[in-house]
Amino acid sequence: MKAMLLEAISPVERHPLKLVELPTPEPAEGEIRLRVNACGVCRTDLHVIEGDLPEKQLPIVPGHQVVGIVDALGPGAAGFEIGDRAGIAWLRGTCGACDDCRGGRENLCRESSYTGYHANGGYAEYAVVPAAYAYRLPDGFADLEVAPLLCAGIIGYRALDRSGVGPGGRLLLYGFGSSAHVVLQLARERGCTVDVVTRGESHRTLARRMGAEWVGGEGEIPPNRADGAIIFAPAGEIVPDALRAIRPGGTVACAGIHMTPVPEMEYEPCLFHEKTLTSVEANTREDGRGLLAEAASVPVAARVTEFALAEANEALIRLKRDGIDGSAVLRVSESDA
C-alpha cells in the first residue's frame, strides 16, 4: 500500500514524510481494517512530526482523523461488517481496568495509546484499529467533510464542555482553525454568543462569516467579558489575556496537546474571583459519539481544503503557517460517500 512515512523527527519545511510502499496491514484479534478514503490533517500531527511531543515510535505513519470502508475483520472483531463506513480517531486503546477507565475518564488512562503516534495512522491506503475504538459515522456527511470531526470536532466538543459555557452564554475562542470553526457552529446552535481572537486575517473573515459577534486580532481585547474561553492556539502567552477576558467564576480551557510556556501572571485580575484555568486531554469514546450525534443534528458544515496523499507535507506546512481556513484533509482514494 502507499503511505506517507515519517522516519525521523524534522521540521515540516524539510518534507520529512516520504511516499513509500508498505505491506498492507492485517487486522489482529479484535481489529478491523479500513480501506482509507480520507484523513484529516491535524495540528497534533505537526507536533508528532516536529518533536513537540515525546517520540514514541519511528518510523510511523501519521494521521488520526481517518474515514474509510471496512474491508477486513480480525478474529473476534465485533460491531462492524465488511462494507461499513467507519472512522478512526486519536484514542485507539486504554487499559480498561484503572480507576480512570472505570470512572468514565478513559482519556486520562496512563496506558492509553493513540493513532498515528503509537501505531500507524491514516496517511495511508489502509489502516487498522481495535473495533471497540472505531466509530460509526452519521449519514449526510461526505468522507472529506466528516474526517475533521474525528479529532478537531471531538476535542472541540470536549473543550466546549470544559469551558463551562452553557446554552445562551458568551464564549470566547482564541485561534480559529479546524477545531474552532466546528465549535463555533456547536455553540451557536446552543444559543451562545461567540467572540473570536485570531491572528490571521482570512481566519477573522471566516469567523465573521460564520456568525461570530465580535472578531479581533492578536492582542485585542473583546468589548464584553465572556462566561468562558477556549484557547486553541498553542501559545501560552495567551493564557493571562484569556483569564482577564472572562467574568468572575468563568473558566479558560486550554485545548491543545502542546503549548508554549505560560508566562508569570498577576493573581488579580487573572485568577482571583474564582476563575478556573483547566486543560483538555484527549477524549473519551463517549465524547466521540456525542460529537458525531450533535454534529449531525446541527448539521455542522466543515470547511475543507483538499490535498492528495502525496501532498501531506505541503498541507502540514500550510497548517503551520496558518494558511488553512477550516480543515485540511487528504483524499486518499477516489471514492467518497
- CB 171 within 8 Å of CB 195: yes
Cα distances (angstroms) measured from residue 212 to each of 149, 172, 181, 192, 203:
20, 10, 10, 10, 11
Q: What is the mean pLDDT of residues 272-288?
A: 97
Q: What is the mean pLDDT of residues 73-79?
A: 97
Digit-coded pLDDT (tens) for 109-128: 999 999 999 999 999 999 99
Top CATH class of 154-279 equals alpha beta
Domain 2-150+283-331 indexed as CATH 3.40.50.720: no
Which part of the chain is CATH 3.90.180.10? 2-150+283-331
- Cα–Cα distance measured from residue 68 to residue 58, given in angstroms and rounded to the nearest whole number: 24
Question: How large a percentage of the chain has pLDDT more than 70?
Answer: 99
In degrees, to the nearest 5, what angle opens at C-alpha 124 toward C-alphas 120 and 125? 125
Whether the per-residue pLDDT at 336 is higher than 70: the answer is no
This prediction has a pTM of 0.95
Q: What is the mean pLDDT of residues 304-316?
A: 98
Digit-coded pLDDT (tens) for 175-210: 999 999 999 999 999 999 999 999 999 999 999 999
Neighbours of 117 (CB within 10 A): 23
Neighbours of 1 (CB within 10 A): 16
Band the pLDDT of 255: cuts 50, 70, 90: very high
Digit-coded pLDDT (tens) for 9-53: 999 999 999 999 999 999 999 999 999 999 999 999 999 999 999
Q: In this predicted structure, what is the pLDDT of residue 179?
A: 97
Q: In this predicted structure, what is the pLDDT of residue 335?
A: 58
Digit-coded pLDDT (tens) for 8-18: 999 999 999 99
Which part of the chain is CATH 3.40.50.720? 154-279
